[in-house]
Structure 1
């Protein structure tokens, strides 16, 4: 392909992308917002402030550091 063919293909793709973005913007304007911005209380999960049981973490690896009983090279 020549440089001119490549530029023409890029222009076509850019024009197509611009059309699609405009269509999406129009669709977004037509849609009514489904929520008022406040989270749905029925989907919220309460996380306790108490510490986790350390027995849960005895056989785990520290992400990026490896296992607790081994040293990084």
Structure 2
């Protein structure tokens, strides 16, 4: 495939993406005008989750390997 063919394919993909985004925007506008809620608003979700600053319980990691270092009781290669 030539560079020109690649550029044509990219342009075609971008045009299709633009059309799809415009369709979604119109659909969202219609739903908002009708007072409808989105599908994601109907599903209960966790929302924002607060992660504590306290250290994790070290017993959670007793049977794990240190990534790139191997097992804790053996030497790394």
Measure the CA separation in 2 of the matches of 1:67 and 1:16. Answer: 48
Structure 1 residue 11: deviation in Å?
A: 4.6
Query: Is the radius of gyration larger for structure 1 or structure 2?
Result: 1
Render the CA deviation track for 1:11-52: whole Å, top value 9, x for unaligned. Answer: 555423312212212433564389xxxxxxx51111111111
How many residues are treated as equivalent by the alignment?
60
Normalized per residue, the structure richer in strand is 1
For residue 68 of structure 1, what is the aligned residue in structure 2?
72
Q: Which stretches in structure 2 are left out of the alignment for 5+ residues? A: 29-37, 39-45
Normalized per residue, the structure richer in helix is 2
Q: Which stretches in structure 1 are left out of the alignment for 5+ residues? A: 1-5, 35-41
**Local SS of the residue matching 1:66:** coil
For residue 53 of structure 2, what is the aligned residue in structure 1?
49
| 1:1-73 matched pairs, under 5 angstroms | 7=2, 11-12=4-5, 14-29=7-22, 31-32=24-25, 43-73=47-77
Measure the CA separation in 2 of the matches of 1:58 and 1:13. Answer: 51
Structure 2-normalised TM-score? 0.54
